[in-house]
Structure formats: structure tokens, C-alpha cells
């Protein structure tokens, strides 16, 4: 995906927000997408469910009846039917739901938009998704602004589940919640994935969260996947220098180590002045940079069984 950027008093530039990404997510699988802010994670997630038009490539969905559908080219009534199977859990539960609406209306309106208008059917569907996310029916008539952050995010997840989706993008769904609530939301997502065979793309900048929720982890840097493997292999045997740095930046869980300073073996941050550098996009920050890294882009190749990496070290 290419975005056009018009900086002040400079020539127009083009930014490859997502570049050459090729991912497959199976039914009932949670694929964690990890990277710093600005790496293209949310753009990829929105493109995957058709909220952003891609400039090249295809996004394919295998629907509940196993028929393939091209998300990137769907229009009109075809798009509306497909849209119910493609859902997104947003990062901010305070801005993704109108605080002045009643909880019942938040869920009723999308059902009616898809032709489910009889009150008995609406109530049955809402009660069912409330049970799945652990919300009591007695908050139906509460206003959204009366709910806690954790309750708002559960309402957001319940809204996603109304149409039995095939694929859900969860965009940093726990980053704005208290630590005590994160585990509950992660458990709900994992249960939904396993019990209803929903494929999840779980976006996060926290490697510790990705490790808990994900079956596989994809590490993204400046629009490219630099490492892909099982959650266990990525965490226990990271290959790419960027993946290692993300793991090094993860805080210690042991309280006795809270005052120990961690040394992260990369320099600087994502370079906004040169959004599309030549060669390996990570070379300006890499401690192991070689001449080949400056001019040639490494492709994603399998280093170990089920563990791929894009790095000239391998």
C-alpha cells in the first residue's frame, strides 16, 4: 500500500505503508502483529477488512460456507453481505462507541441495519453476545458514559460478535485498560477464537501481550514482516535483531528486578525523515549492519521449521 505525503515546502513523496506483506490466518487462530508505533500495523489491519483501499495485491476471505471472496474488489450488495463477516475491535473504548447512546441501542442499530428488526430476535441476539463477553443484561438501559473502560470494551466486542464474524482485527484492544482488566479481555478473545473458529489479527506493540494471546506472531517494521513464527519460537528463539530488541524492551515481571535497567541493543527510532530507505529498512538502527544491508532488501525465508526471517545474517 502506498500513501502520498505532501510535506510543507518539500516535494511530494510516497510512503509505502504496507509493502509486500503475505499472511495467511487459519480459522480459530490468533495471529499477533507486533511492532512499534508507525510500523504499519493498523494500516494492514484496516486493509485486511476493507476499511482502506489497497493500491496493489489482494485480500481473500474464505467465508463461513467455505466460498472464497475477494475483499479488495467487493462492492455494493456483495460488500454489504461480506461486511458482516469482517469486524474490528478498536483500541479506544471511549471514542469507538457514542457515550450518549444506551447500551441496548449500540447493539440494536447494527442488527436493524442488516435486516434483523423484530424485537424478540434482537433481544435474543444481544443476550447471547452479552453472555459471551460476560456482561449482565441489567445494563441494557444504561448509557455508555456510565460504564467503566472494561465494560465499554466488552460492549465493543459484543457488537463485533453480533454477526458471527469469520475474521476480526483487534487493534490494540487492551492498551488503554488497567492491568487487572487486560487478562479478562484477552481470555474473552481467546475463547471466542477457539469456540467459534474466528480468525483474529491481534495488533499490539507489547510482545508480552502477543505471547499470551497469539498462536503465531508476525513482527512488522516499516510496513514489512521481518519475522514470522509460532509464539513460542519467536519468544524463546528470536532471530531478527528487531525482534530481539522488542523482547529486550519487555519489562520484568519479577518485582525484585524492577530497578534493573535494561539495555536495548538498537539505536534511535523509526526514521520519519526517510520513510522508504533503500536496502533493508532496519539497517540504520541495526547493530549488525553489513554492506549488503544498505542496498538489497532481504526476503522472508524459512530458517527453521515454521519460523521465517528477513535478515541478511541468515
Report pLDDT for 8: 53
Burial of 75 (0-12, 13-18, 19+ CB in 10 A): exposed
CA-to-CA dists, residue 46 to 40, 138, 229, angstroms: 10, 33, 22
Which domain covers residue 259, as residue numbers? 239-314
pLDDT band at 262 (very low <50, low <70, confident <90, very high): low
Q: Cα 152–158–161 angle (5° rounding)?
A: 150
Domain membership of residue 9 (yes or no) is: no
Residues 85, 189 within the same domain:
yes
pLDDT in tens, 6-47: 555 556 667 778 888 999 999 999 999 999 988 999 999 999
Residues 34, 180 within the same domain:
yes
Residue 240 has pLDDT above 70, yes or no: yes
Domain membership of residue 123 (yes or no) is: yes
Instruction: State how far the Cα of 25 lies from the Cα of 109, in Å rounded to an integer.
Output: 30
**Residue 102 DSSP symbol:** B
Report pLDDT for 300: 94
What cell does 96 get? 469507538
CB 168 within 8 A of CB 199: yes
Q: How many domains does the chain have?
A: 2
Residues 144, 277 within the same domain:
no
Residues 204, 313 within the same domain:
no
Residue 256 has pLDDT above 70, yes or no: no
What CATH number is associated with residue 168?
Answer: 3.40.50.300
pLDDT in tens, 65-84: 888 889 988 888 888 888 88
pTM of the model: 0.89
pLDDT band at 275 (very low <50, low <70, confident <90, very high): low
Between 63 and 237, the more confident residue is 237
Amino acid at each position: 500500500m502506498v500513501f502520498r505525503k505532501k510535506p510543507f515546502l518539500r516535494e511530494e513523496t510516497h510512503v509505502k505503508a504496507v509493502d509486500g506483506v503475505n499472511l495467511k490466518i487459519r480459522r480459530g487462530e490468533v495471529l499477533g502483529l507486533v511492532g512499534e508505533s508507525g510500523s504499519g500495523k493498523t494500516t494492514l489491519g484496516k486493509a485486511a477488512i476493507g476499511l482502506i483501499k489497497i493500491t496493489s495485491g489482494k485480500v481473500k476471505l474464505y467465508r463461513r460456507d467455505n466460498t472464497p471472496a475477494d475483499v479488495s474488489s467487493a462492492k455494493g450488495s456483495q460488500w454489504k453481505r461480506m461486511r458482516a463477516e469482517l469486524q474490528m475491535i478498536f483500541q479506544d473504548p471511549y471514542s469507538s462507541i457514542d457515550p450518549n447512546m444506551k447500551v441496548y441501542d449500540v447493539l440494536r442499530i447494527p442488527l436493524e441495519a442488516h435486516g434483523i428488526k423484530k424485537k424478540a430476535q434482537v433481544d435474543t441476539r444481544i443476550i447471547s453476545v452479552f453472555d459471551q463477553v460476560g456482561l449482565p443484561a441489567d445494563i441494557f438501559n444504561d448509557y455508555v458514559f456510565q460504564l467503566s473502560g472494561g465494560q465499554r470494551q466488552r460492549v465493543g466486542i459484543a457488537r463485533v460478535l453480533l454477526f458471527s464474524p469469520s475474521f476480526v482485527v483487534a487493534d490494540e484492544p487492551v492498551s488503554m485498560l488497567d492491568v487487572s482488566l487486560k487478562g479478562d479481555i484477552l481470555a474473552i478473545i481467546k475463547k471466542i477464537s477457539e469456540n467459534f473458529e474466528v480468525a483474529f489479527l491481534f495488533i499490539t506493540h507489547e510482545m508480552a501481550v502477543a505471547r499470551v494471546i497469539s498462536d503465531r506472531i508476525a513482527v512488522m517494521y516499516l510496513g514489512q514482516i521481518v519475522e514470522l513464527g509460532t509464539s513460542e519460537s519467536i519468544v524463546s528463539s528470536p532471530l531478527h535483531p528487531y525482534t530481539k530488541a522488542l523482547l529486550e524492551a519487555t519489562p520484568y515481571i519479577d518485582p525484585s528486578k524492577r530497578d534493573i535497567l535494561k539495555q536495548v541493543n538498537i539505536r534511535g527510532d523509526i526514521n520519519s525523515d526517510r520513510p522508504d530507505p533503500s536496502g533493508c529498512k532496519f539497517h540504520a538502527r541495526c547493530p549488525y549492519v553489513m554492506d549488503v544491508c544498505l542496498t538489497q532488501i532481504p526476503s522472508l525465508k524459512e530458517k527453521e521449521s515454521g519460523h521465517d526471517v528477513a535478515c541478511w545474517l541468515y
